Amino acid sequence: MHHFNYEQGRLHCEGVDLTEIADQVGTPVYVYSTATLRRHAKVIAAAFDGMDCLIAYSVKANGNLAVLKTLASEGCGADVVSGGELRRALAAGIPAERIVFSGVGKTRAEMALGLEQGIHQFNVESGAELIALSEVAMSLNTVAPIALRVNPDVAAGGHPNISTGKAGDKFGVPWAEAPELYHQCKALPGVEAVGVDVHIGSQIGDLEPMRAAFEKTIGLVKFLRDAGHDLKRVDLGGGLGIPYRNTDAPAPPSDYAQMIRDVTEGLGLQVILEPGRVIAGNAGVMVSEVLYHKPAPDRTFMIVDAGMNDLMRPALYQAHHDIIPLIEPAADAPSTEYDIVGPICESTDKFAAKRAMPSVAPGERIAFMSSGAYGAVLSSQYNARPLVAEVLVDGDQFAVVRRRPSFEQMIELEQMPTWLT
């Protein structure tokens, strides 16, 4: 569910006309709905009511401080994959004891930051990382709570670029090596194994691969407990899908929660979850203006002012976004096929090919739906284009929560060497 609807023929986010935002802030612009963020956080929390469950929102999905602050007020913790994301979570008011640090390439400085802040857990992804974390913790005279991320070699479906649980993926330790690494952990100073972590991918609509991975992981927890490891937690990652198309019907959070209850029942484990897309994805849209129509022999290009530097998902993994006009078309409006492309000097700067939609004239605006996750966080200044602006709506009010930088701000980190001055 989301709070983007036509009212009197104009697309609104909650009580705010998106045309008003586009007029005041310019385009392209991301617009996020507070009501949708809060609703999704509440739905997930309610699904796990009565369980010992830490809902650690995945900051990589959308790390805007205002979004994080909104979710912190709903009781969400954070799953972070860098020192910068950790600092963002803390700046937004998420307590360190509700933060989990994941990722395959933590630096020693990032480890030290997490230890100094007293985070809930490190998800360790290799033997080398385990040794480094032990050494950093010893240098700080503290102990790092850790879970080893295991790779269960379970295929989750979807695009290979968002698969994380198959043999050959860079994530997690190979399944066969996990028992020995837990044994090694027990002998290392400065680290304490408190759980097991698993995450098999993103945008998963079918719960069966998740169940298979989770049951396999719980089997490992039982094996390790029998071997003398006092494991209290299981981190089951994120990955639950959202409907990018009206025809999509991914598993609802209630079914996901019931499956996890079934798998973990009676074990006395704290369950850690890392939802990101399922909270933020449908809570945001990107608004863009149509610049030109360009007829070609076999198609018509709709050229818009947003580019792949603003919304990378279609270029990165051929992702689909519904695209709709800000002005509601008539029910009997004829459909036109467009290749919807941006101004970036790359052939991959294409949002949709032969997309059937009502005609939208140059100067009119369109909304890329379901772009609240992995949208603005992946944006760049390629082609010397400024970072896309972000807006948060709450009821009938809105605020810019990331401004579009000026050219001077874009280049202020650069400087000429002395031999060129």
Q: How far apart are CA 109 and CA 399, in angstroms?
A: 35
- Confidence band for 251, pLDDT divided at 50, 70 and 90: confident
Average pLDDT, the chain: 94
Q: Does residue 345 carry a catalytic annotation?
A: yes
Q: What is the residue type of 79?
A: D
The predicted-structure confidence for 311-368, as pLDDT tens digits, reads as follows 999 999 899 999 999 999 999 999 999 999 999 999 999 999 999 999 999 999 999 9
Q: What is the mean pLDDT of residues 13-30?
A: 98
Q: How far apart are CA 73 and CA 81, in angstroms?
A: 21
| Residue 353, pLDDT score | 96
For the cut 70, the answer to whether the pLDDT of residue 68 exceeds it is: yes
| Residue 154, pLDDT score | 75
Beta strands in 152-260 (DSSP E): 173-174, 191-197, 233-235
Q: How far apart are CA 99 and CA 59, in angstroms?
A: 10
The predicted-structure confidence for 93-106, as pLDDT tens digits, reads as follows 999 999 999 999 99
Structure tokens at 406: 């000026």
| Residue 363, pLDDT score | 98
Nearest Cα to Cα of residue 204 among 169, 150, 153, 157: 157
Q: What is the share, in percent, of the chain residues with pLDDT greater than 70?
A: 96
Q: What is the residue type of 86?
A: L
Domains, in order of start, for the chain? 4-31+281-411 (2.40.37.10), 34-278 (3.20.20.10)
For the cut 70, the answer to whether the pLDDT of residue 38 exceeds it is: yes
Q: How far apart are CA 268 and CA 230, in angstroms?
A: 12
For the cut 80, the answer to whether the pLDDT of residue 39 exceeds it is: yes
State the CB neighbour count (10 A cutoff) for residue 22.
Answer: 20
Q: What is the residue type of 85?
A: E
| Residue 162, pLDDT score | 42
The predicted-structure confidence for 143-195, as pLDDT tens digits, reads as follows 999 999 998 877 655 545 444 444 556 678 988 999 999 999 999 999 999 99
Q: How far apart are CA 174 and CA 176, in angstroms?
A: 6
For the cut 70, the answer to whether the pLDDT of residue 231 exceeds it is: yes
For the cut 90, the answer to whether the pLDDT of residue 1 exceeds it is: no
Instruction: Give whole-number Cα distances, 121 to 160, 188, 211, 328, in Å.
Output: 28, 17, 23, 48
State the CB neighbour count (10 A cutoff) for residue 318.
Answer: 12
